[in-house]
């Protein structure tokens, strides 16, 4: 696989050209730019905002409505205690190091990676080999100047091994690598400081007395977990079920890069699907997707140093154990279908499994849906098995019963060592310590009980460790307790559900989608290349452009009428009645990804016909308003394609000539 990114039509993708277009058309823009901007913060302009809303709308229909998920909206402000329990306060950090001279702060792993890669590139140049951009990184790396210096073969191999395991290193190890290989900051020629952990959460304090420290959530998941018991009750205690949430999350990235791929405030859409851990995590609708083919890159392949993907049905992948269980597999397939629906180039999608060392602290398995862009493969959706981690830690911390009680159809008979305490005798015997002794007794294991039972039978008493009581020992006699091996019938089963979490970074998906749908028209001729965003109609920010031939006042009522009719049909449109030529106005809207265009001209005033233009082919048809509106409806709802419309309605060539001549 090469990193040479291509457009929708296979042309080399010129990122600066695309960036300039996105800026010009205000898809997004650096926040606070007139104040100099702030790294990692972007605002969406009107087309970006509409594109985002459409992606979210399709997401909600595809996941939440299709599967009756319970959507919630929780606060981003989160008190310290919750994120302490969840492990984020201690573990949600990256390592950073600082240049001692210019004060530049860098992510330690990115720094090591960048310097070693620059050396390897320099080595290749020195050897006269063709230097290819590597296609890997989820992160966009800092450009580091290369010098053509040949390295020993053994050194090359060592560097490559380090790079393959880069996600594997902690701060101390990264520090050792910096010293061992003498990795200097090219900007100053100095070694950076020892890496230190930097927590990625934004801190604040809640309330007027500053005594409640809090954070902005780094994920929407915790709010969902804390509401688990209420959601289960809302779902009338039926399992499995899923909650879902769409909202902003915050990560104080050490060195955010330009663009939407690593930002500090971002929209997430997350699903927490709760499943019984027993019975192999089957899924009731797995059969609907089992024949779908996915492109998979499993951890075994990666650990052997390769990035070769396998294409297989998700049914086969689960059967072969490549994907652990049906529920995880079901969601991978649903993610695949969602990305297809919004218009992702499916030849630029792969599912990559995390290696053990790169997994988040809460996950026991994770697959990322990665999309290929000009900056390599970008993690856009994570699908993690969080096991029972979160519900367990919160339940333990708060005592809240975050579990499922299931009535057993067949009562379960359990034979075990059981303990009976005679509380009447027990109380006076231990007085204030009675509770502690009782708790210690209840906590004994089956093995201990078996041994105690013997001791009671033989010596009439046992000696029990009870920390904090007297000398740490309590003597319990056989007249106050009884330990017997006997049967017990259980009618209900209690369990903490496991969580399968598909988690979508909407901004990353949005940016990748733009790249996948971008191409340029006319670049083969002498003409200047004109950008086109061929979004499928459902995600396109605006569906229809309305163009009066000129600013002649006669056209206004007709345009206004069409605009109102389209609105009534629930189809978004925009009028461009600027003085630019029709061709220029269509070009502008090709850049905005508007799939359809209507022209109102002098003929319209005579015979009430209007033209309809297809963005991708620039061909046009002409018919009366009713038939054109009907055609638009069927194109937008996907029931017909442009070829079909061309069969049905007469071709029109008028203004198209003008467009072609520009």
Q: Does 492 participate in binding a second copy (rule CB under 8 A)? A: no
Report residue 424 as tokens: 């009447």
Of residues 567-586, those binding a second copy (CB under 8 A): 567, 572, 574-576, 578
Of residues 74-133, those binding a second copy (CB under 8 A): 74-79, 81-82, 96, 103, 105
Tell me the C-alpha distance between 37 and 26, whole Å. Answer: 16
Q: Does 518 participate in binding a second copy (rule CB under 8 A)? A: no
Is the CB of 105 or the CB of 626 nearer to a second copy? 105
Q: What's the min distance (Å) between Cβ of 256 and a second copy?
A: 9
Q: What's the min distance (Å) between Cβ of 81 and a second copy?
A: 6
Is the CB of 323 or the CB of 571 nearer to a second copy? 571
Stretch that binds a second copy, among 203-211, 290-298, 310-318, 549-557 (CB under 8 A): 203-211
Tell me the C-alpha distance between 26 and 14, whole Å. Answer: 18
Q: From the list 15, 46, 58, 630, which residue makes contact with a second copy (rule: CB under 8 A)?
A: 46
Q: What's the min distance (Å) between Cβ of 115 and a second copy?
A: 19
- How far separated are the first and last CA of the chain, in Å rounded? 37
Residues 6+ positions from 436 with CB-CB distance below 8 Å: 430, 466, 468, 469
Q: Does 213 participate in binding a second copy (rule CB under 8 A)? A: no
Q: What's the min distance (Å) between Cβ of 234 and a second copy?
A: 5
Stretch that binds a second copy, among 35-43, 119-127, 271-279, 379-387 (CB under 8 A): 35-43
Contact 373/513 with Cβ under 8 angstroms? no
Q: Does 48 participate in binding a second copy (rule CB under 8 A)? A: yes
Q: Does 216 participate in binding a second copy (rule CB under 8 A)? A: yes
Q: Does 529 participate in binding a second copy (rule CB under 8 A)? A: no
For 123, the 3-state DSSP assignment is helix
Is the CB of 296 or the CB of 402 nearer to a second copy? 402
Place of tokens 């089963």: 493
Dihedral angle computed from the Cα positions of residues 630, 636, 642 and 643, in that order, rounded to the nearest 10 degrees: -80
Q: Give the count of residues interacting with a second copy (CB under 8 A).
A: 79
Q: What are the Cα distances from residue 53, in Å, to 339, 502, 546? A: 15, 19, 22
Is the CB of 38 or the CB of 643 nearer to a second copy? 38
Q: From the list 11, 14, 156, 202, which residue makes contact with a second copy (rule: CB under 8 A)?
A: 202
Residues 6+ positions from 549 with CB-CB distance below 8 Å: 555, 582, 599, 600, 601, 602, 655
Contact 310/298 with Cβ under 8 angstroms? yes
Q: Does 287 participate in binding a second copy (rule CB under 8 A)? A: no
Q: From the list 8, 13, 18, 50, which residue makes contact with a second copy (rule: CB under 8 A)?
A: 50
Q: What are the Cα distances from residue 55, in Å, to 16, 429, 540, 628? A: 25, 68, 9, 26
Of residues 221-240, those binding a second copy (CB under 8 A): 223, 226-227, 229-231, 233-234, 236
Please give the distance of CA 84 from its chain centroid, rounded to a whole number.
Answer: 23
Q: What's the min distance (Å) between Cβ of 135 and a second copy?
A: 28
Q: From the list 135, 194, 265, 630, which residue makes contact with a second copy (rule: CB under 8 A)?
A: 265
Is the CB of 48 or the CB of 531 nearer to a second copy? 48
Stretch that binds a second copy, among 69-77, 108-116, 170-178, 360-368 (CB under 8 A): 69-77
Q: Does 73 participate in binding a second copy (rule CB under 8 A)? A: yes
Q: Does 159 participate in binding a second copy (rule CB under 8 A)? A: no
Q: Does 41 participate in binding a second copy (rule CB under 8 A)? A: yes
Is the CB of 71 or the CB of 135 nearer to a second copy? 71
Kindly state the DSSP code that residue 99 receives in the 8-state scheme: -
For 72, the 3-state DSSP assignment is coil
Residues of 577-599 as b/e, b for ≥16 C-beta within 10 angstroms?
Answer: beeeebbbbbbbbbbbbbbbbbb
Q: What are phi and psi of 40, to 5 degrees?
A: 80, 10
Of residues 379-418, those binding a second copy (CB under 8 A): 394, 397-398, 400, 402
For 512, the 3-state DSSP assignment is helix
Q: Identify which of 323, 264, 269 has the alpha carbon closest to the alpha carbon of residue 295.
A: 323
Is the CB of 216 or the CB of 623 nearer to a second copy? 216
Q: Does 193 participate in binding a second copy (rule CB under 8 A)? A: no
């Amino acid at each position: 696989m090469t990193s040479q990114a291509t457009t929708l039509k296979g042309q080399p993708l010129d990122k600066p050209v695309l960036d300039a277009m996105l800026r010009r058309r205000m898809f997004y823009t650096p926040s606070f730019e007139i104040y100099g901007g702030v790294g990692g913060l972007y605002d969406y302009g009107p087309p970006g905002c509409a594109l985002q809303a459409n992606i979210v709308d399709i997401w909600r229909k595809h996941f939440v409505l299709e599967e009756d998920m319970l959507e919630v909206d929780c606060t981003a402000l989160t008190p310290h205690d919750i994120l302490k329990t969840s492990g984020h306060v201690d573990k949600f950090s990256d390592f950073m190091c600082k240049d001692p001279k210019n004060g530049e702060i860098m992510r330690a792993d990115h720094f090591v990676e960048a310097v070693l890669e620059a050396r390897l590139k320099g080595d290749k140049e020195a050897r006269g080999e063709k230097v290819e951009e590597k296609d890997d990184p989820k992160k966009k790396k800092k450009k580091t100047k290369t010098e053509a210096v040949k390295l020993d073969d053994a050194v090359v191999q060592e560097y490559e091994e380090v790079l393959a395991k880069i996600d594997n290193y902690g701060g101390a190890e990264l520090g050792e690598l910096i010293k061992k290989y003498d990795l200097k900051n090219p900007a100053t020629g100095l070694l950076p400081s020892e890496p230190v952990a930097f927590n990625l959460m934004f801190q604040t304090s809640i309330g007027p007395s500053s005594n409640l420290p809090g954070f902005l959530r780094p994920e929407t998941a915790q709010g969902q977990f804390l509401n688990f018991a209420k959601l289960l009750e809302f779902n009338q205690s039926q399992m499995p079920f899923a909650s879902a949430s769409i909202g902003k999350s915050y990560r104080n990235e050490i060195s955010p890069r330009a663009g939407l791929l690593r930002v500090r405030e971002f929209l997430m859409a997350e699903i927490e699907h709760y499943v019984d851990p027993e019975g192999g995590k089957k899924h009731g609708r797995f059969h609907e997707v089992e024949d779908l083919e996915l492109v998979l890159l499993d951890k075994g392949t990666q650990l052997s140093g390769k990035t070769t993907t396998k294409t297989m049905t998700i049914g086969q992948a689960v059967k072969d154990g490549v994907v652990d269980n049906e529920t995880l597999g079901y969601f991978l397939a649903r993610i695949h279908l969602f990305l297809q629906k919004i218009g992702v180039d499916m030849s630029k999608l792969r599912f990559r499994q995390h290696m053990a060392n790169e997994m988040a602290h809460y996950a026991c398995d994770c697959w990322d849906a990665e999309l290929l862009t000009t900056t390599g493969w970008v993690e856009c959706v994570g699908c993690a098995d969080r096991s029972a981690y979160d519900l367990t830690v919160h339940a333990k911390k708060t005592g809240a019963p975050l579990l499922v009680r299931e009535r057993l159809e067949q009562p379960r008979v359990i034979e075990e060592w059981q303990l009976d305490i005679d509380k009447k005798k027990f109380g006076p015997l231990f007085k204030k310590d009675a509770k502690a002794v009782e708790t210690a007794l209840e906590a004994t294991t089956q093995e201990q009980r078996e041994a105690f039972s013997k001791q009671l039978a033989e010596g009439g008493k046992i000696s029990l460790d009870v920390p904090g009581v007297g000398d740490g020992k309590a003597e319990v006699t056989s007249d106050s307790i009884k330990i017997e091996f006997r049967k017990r019938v259980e009618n209900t089963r209690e369990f903490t559900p496991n969580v399968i979490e598909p988690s979508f970074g909407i901004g990353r998906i949005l940016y990748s989608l733009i790249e996948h749908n971008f191409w340029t028209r006319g670049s083969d001729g002498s003409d200047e290349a004109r950008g086109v965003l061929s979004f499928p109609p459902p995600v396109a920010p605006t569906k229809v452009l309305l163009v009066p031939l000129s600013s002649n006042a006669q056209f206004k009522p007709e345009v206004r009428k069409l605009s109102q009719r389209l609105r009534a049909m629930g189809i978004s449109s925009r009028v461009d009645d600027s003085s630019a030529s029709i061709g220029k106005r269509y070009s502008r809207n090709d850049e905005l990804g508007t799939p359809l265009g209507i022209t109102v001209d002098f003929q319209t005033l005579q015979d009430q016909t209007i033209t309809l233009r297809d963005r991708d082919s620039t061909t046009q048809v002409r018919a009366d308003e009713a038939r054109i509106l009907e055609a638009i409806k069927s194109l937008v709802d996907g029931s017909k394609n442009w070829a079909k419309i061309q069969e049905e309605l007469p071709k029109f060539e008028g203004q198209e000539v003008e467009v072609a001549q520009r």
